[in-house]
């Protein structure tokens, strides 16, 4: 299967959505179309799947395997695929990692196991990542959660993990704290074996990128991959005026996507793609539920404000 053996996670990496039929089965035709649409975006470096954005918590192992196979068939020859590793136990995490490697993935995005929400010792974190690293030769992206929840890896633990698990080549930084985020960027990207910081602070993406991240990995890239790629390039080029202009377009979508409750972010993105005519329906799996008309109207207004949806066409479709 297609694989990009020299890939190191960097740059703009949209996390795609997973469309469902009304009976909650995977809409394979819709998913293929979505992959082609996002995958054609100029300036992206990879795609992520089997993650929050594809509602991985409600997908079986076999469904995750199928999702990866569909992505490989549609875009794998052109783009590296980052496959999420969502598992509460290390043995299952290693099994998913082997499945991803066998399926042609080019990197792994490793979510923190649920037991770590009750705090973890450095030894537990090291053992978890060593088991995954021993299972495949794929580069690993560590998903760094906010410190308050217990699933975040403290600085010293993170540095030990990087030292002892050479497969760790990036973190997806969701620390939610600007000083800590900047510490990650300055510390990890300056190591003898640099570890890229991929921001997922999509609610304040411009501010985050200005600190010097070497990439971004975001579910909102499923809707605004082009704007994200252009913003990343503008910041890298020190073109502040262009970056501010692009951020003004991104802001309306960030405002509605990342409103409370936070768990509905990808639900809102599906509704946005349905409004844009890029998904036939916005079905989510339980425990998520269909958004109400008032919230869908807010999403429609944000897409118009961002210049992504024509106001006349939106009124006609309403």
What ranges do the domains of the chain cover? 11-237
Contacts of 269 (CB under 8 A, 6+ apart): 17, 53, 219, 220, 222, 223, 257
Question: Which pLDDT score is estimated for 313?
Answer: 57
pLDDT < 70 positions in the chain = 1, 312-318
Cis before 287? omega within 30: yes
Structure tokens at 125: 């974190």
Question: Which pLDDT score is estimated for 272?
Answer: 98
- Residue 85 sits at the vertex; the CA angle it makes with 84 and 86, to the nearest 5 degrees, is 105
In the Cβ-directed half-sphere of 229, how many Cα atoms lie within 13 Å? 18
Instruction: Name the CATH superfamily, with its identifier, for domain 11-237.
Output: Aldolase class I (3.20.20.70)
Nearest to 198 by CA among 3, 1, 14: 14
In the 8-state DSSP scheme, what is residue 262?
G
Adjacency order of strands within the sheet including 107-110: 11-14, 215-218, 196-199, 168-173, 140-144, 107-110, 81-85, 47-49
Question: Which pLDDT score is estimated for 5?
Answer: 85
Tokens 């202009």 correspond to 245
Question: Which pLDDT score is estimated for 316?
Answer: 41
How far apart CA 264 and CA 245 sit, in angstroms, is 27
Give the sign of the dihedral formed by CA 89, CA 92, CA 94, CA 96. negative
Question: Which pLDDT score is estimated for 314?
Answer: 55
**3-class secondary structure, 307:** coil
Contact 100, 136 (CB under 8 A): yes
Predicted TM-score (pTM) of the model is: 0.96
Question: Which pLDDT score is estimated for 318?
Answer: 40
**3-class secondary structure, 44:** strand
Question: Which pLDDT score is estimated for 1?
Answer: 66
- In tens, the pLDDT along 151-171 reads 999 999 999 999 999 999 999
Question: Got the DSSP string for 111-130?
Answer: PPPGGGGG---HHHHHHHHH
């Amino acid at each position: 299967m297609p694989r990009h053996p020299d890939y190191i996670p960097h740059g703009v990496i949209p996390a795609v959505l997973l469309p469902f039929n009304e009976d909650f089965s995977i809409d394979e035709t819709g998913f293929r179309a979505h992959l082609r649409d996002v995958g054609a975006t100029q300036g992206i470096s990879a795609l992520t799947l089997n993650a929050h954005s594809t509602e991985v918590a409600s997908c079986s192992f076999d469904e995750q395997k199928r999702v990866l196979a569909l992505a490989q068939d549609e875009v794998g020859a052109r783009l590296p695929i980052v496959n999420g590793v969502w598992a509460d136990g290390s043995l299952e995490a290693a099994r998913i990692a082997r499945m991803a490697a066998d399926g042609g993935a080019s990197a792994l995005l490793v979510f923190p196991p649920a037991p770590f929400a009750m705090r973890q010792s450095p030894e537990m974190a090291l053992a978890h990542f060593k088991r995954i690293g021993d299972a495949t030769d794929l580069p690993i992206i560590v998903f760094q959660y906010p410190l308050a929840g217990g699933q975040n890896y403290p600085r010293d633990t993170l540095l030990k993990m990087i030292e002892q698990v050479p497969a760790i080549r990036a973190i997806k930084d969701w620390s939610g704290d600007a000083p800590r985020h900047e510490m990650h960027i300055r510390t990890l990207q300056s190591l003898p074996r640099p570890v890229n910081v991929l921001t997922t602070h999509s609610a304040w993406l411009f501010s985050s990128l200005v600190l010097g991240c070497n990439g971004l990995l975001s579910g909102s890239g499923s809707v605004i991959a082009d704007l994200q790629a252009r913003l990343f390039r503008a910041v890298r080029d020190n073109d502040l005026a262009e970056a501010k202009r692009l951020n003004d377009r991104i802001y309306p979508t960030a405002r509605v996507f990342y409103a409370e409750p936070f768990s509905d972010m990808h639900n809102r993105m599906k509704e946005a793609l349905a409004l844009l005519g890029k998904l036939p329906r916005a079905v989510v799996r339980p425990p998520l539920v269909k958004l109400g008309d008032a919230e869908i109207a807010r999403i429609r207004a944000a897409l118009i404000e961002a210049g992504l949806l024509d106001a006349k066409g939106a009124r006609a479709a309403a």
